[in-house]
């Protein structure tokens, strides 16, 4: 007859007389951030880190650990998104500047719906600087904050004509003072219109992914950019933003990231979060 599992427990081992057992030294079983990790199963996927039986990649603590993850992120996302590029439609630096100003608090898809009409009506700074505000407002209305954006577009065009011979300047110091232009917009223009890697564009996707991957704990975009820059080769900065943005839009969603099909899951300390 089979023995019941509820009976009295038997000793696992018998200590020999005269011997002393060494105190067990607990091993640190936490894997390094880049060590291969057991695949999550349907059973463990979606559990909070505290609920998982198997350890996951811990947050990188040292610069070397962050560097190792950064290298993997760049490598794998470059392979995953070989066509990653700026998704704001444009033909020149002026159009990209207008589109980027309009993209504040708005999707690229929505911006791309209004810019063809805007660029057809006002193709250069000279024509946009004299535009009736109500006309620009009507064109950009669906991008939100349309009065402020129309005012910034016209003000930006006037500043280009007045201070830069109608050309978009190529330095961050000249771009940032333009109406509607901050450091993020300036980085977009320099990286995408001129191929100048002056900084890293930190938008909402880049902020979220950089934190989830453990590359930074900075709360604001300027601090995040400062921490990311030394981790990635300068020539990759513009591309890196596109890669993180593409991954954020397609896999690492703000709510319910699709970690089960993420190429970074084995090195990501946030894998399995609900968002």
Residue 249 CA to residue 109 CA, distance in Å, equals 12
Q: Taking CB under 6 A as the rule, does residue 252 contact ligand SF4?
A: yes
Which residue stretch of 15-23, 79-87, 151-159, 264-272 sits at the interface with ligand SF4 (rule: CB under 6 A)?
264-272
Minimum distance from residue 264 beta carbon to ligand SF4 (Å):
5
Q: Taking CB under 6 A as the rule, does residue 175 contact ligand SF4?
A: no
Residue 90 CA to residue 99 CA, distance in Å, equals 8
Minimum distance from residue 231 beta carbon to ligand SF4 (Å):
15
Residue 63 or 250 with smaller CB distance to ligand SF4: 250
What SS3 state is found at 29?
coil
In terms of C-beta density within 10 A (0-12 exposed, 13-18 middle, 19 or more buried), how is residue 136 classed?
buried
Residue 150 or 200 with smaller CB distance to ligand SF4: 200
Residue 101 or 252 with smaller CB distance to ligand SF4: 252
Residues across the chain: 275
What SS3 state is found at 2?
coil
Q: Which of 86, 118, 160, 251 binds ligand SF4 (CB under 6 A)?
A: 251
Contact criterion met (CB below 8 Å) for 201 and 185: no
Residue 175 CA to residue 97 CA, distance in Å, equals 10
Q: Which of 187, 212, 228, 238 binds ligand SF4 (CB under 6 A)?
A: 212
Contact criterion met (CB below 8 Å) for 88 and 111: yes
Residue 104 or 265 with smaller CB distance to ligand SF4: 265
Residue 68 or 273 with smaller CB distance to ligand SF4: 273
Q: Taking CB under 6 A as the rule, does residue 200 contact ligand SF4?
A: no
Residue 272 CA to residue 275 CA, distance in Å, equals 9
Residue 77 or 96 with smaller CB distance to ligand SF4: 77
Q: Taking CB under 6 A as the rule, does residue 265 contact ligand SF4?
A: yes
Report CA 61 to chain centroid distance, whole Å.
20
Minimum distance from residue 69 beta carbon to ligand SF4 (Å):
10
Q: Does residue 108 carry a catalytic annotation?
A: no
In terms of C-beta density within 10 A (0-12 exposed, 13-18 middle, 19 or more buried), how is residue 187 classed?
buried
Q: Taking CB under 6 A as the rule, does residue 77 contact ligand SF4?
A: no
- Active-site annotation holder among 89, 108, 124, 203: 203
Contact criterion met (CB below 8 Å) for 272 and 46: yes
- Active-site annotation holder among 149, 184, 260, 274: 184
Q: Does residue 203 carry a catalytic annotation?
A: yes
Minimum distance from residue 57 beta carbon to ligand SF4 (Å):
9
The closest of 234, 170, 229, 168 to 202, measured between CA atoms, is 229
Q: List the structure tokens of 238.
A: 């513009």
Minimum distance from residue 34 beta carbon to ligand SF4 (Å):
14
State the residues that interact with ligand SF4 by CB under 6 A.
212-213, 251-252, 257-259, 262, 264-265, 268, 270-271, 273
Residues recognised as catalytic: 184, 203
């Amino acid at each position: 007859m089979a023995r019941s599992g509820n009976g009295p427990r038997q000793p696992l081992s018998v200590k020999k007389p005269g011997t002393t057992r060494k105190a067990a030294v607990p091993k640190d079983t936490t894997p390094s951030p880049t060590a291969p990790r057991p695949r999550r199963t349907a059973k463990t996927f979606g559990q909070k880190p505290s609920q998982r039986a198997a350890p996951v990649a811990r947050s990188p603590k040292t610069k070397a650990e962050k560097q190792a993850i950064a290298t993997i992120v760049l490598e794998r996302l470059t392979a995953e998104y070989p066509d990653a590029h700026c998704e704001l439609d444009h033909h020149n630096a002026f159009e990209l500047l207008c589109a980027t100003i309009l993209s504040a608090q708005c999707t690229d898809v929505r911006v791309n719906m209004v810019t063809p009409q805007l660029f057809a009506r006002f193709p250069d700074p000279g024509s946009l600087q004299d535009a009736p505000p109500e006309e620009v407002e009507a064109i950009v209305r669906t991008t939100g904050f349309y009065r402020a954006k129309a005012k910034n577009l016209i003000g930006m065009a006037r500043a280009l004509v007045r201070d830069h011979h109608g050309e978009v300047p190529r330095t961050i110091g000249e771009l940032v003072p333009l109406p509607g232009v901050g450091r993020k917009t300036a980085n977009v223009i320099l990286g995408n219109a001129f191929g100048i890697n002056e900084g890293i564009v930190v938008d909402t996707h880049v902020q979220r992914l950089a934190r989830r991957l453990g590359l930074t704990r900075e709360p604001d975009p300027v601090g995040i950019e400062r921490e990311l820059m030394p981790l990635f080769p300068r020539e990759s900065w513009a591309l890196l933003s596109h890669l993180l943005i593409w991954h954020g839009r397609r896999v690492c969603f703000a709510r319910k990231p699709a970690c089960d099909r993420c190429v970074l899951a084995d090195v990501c300390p946030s894998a399995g979060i609900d968002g």
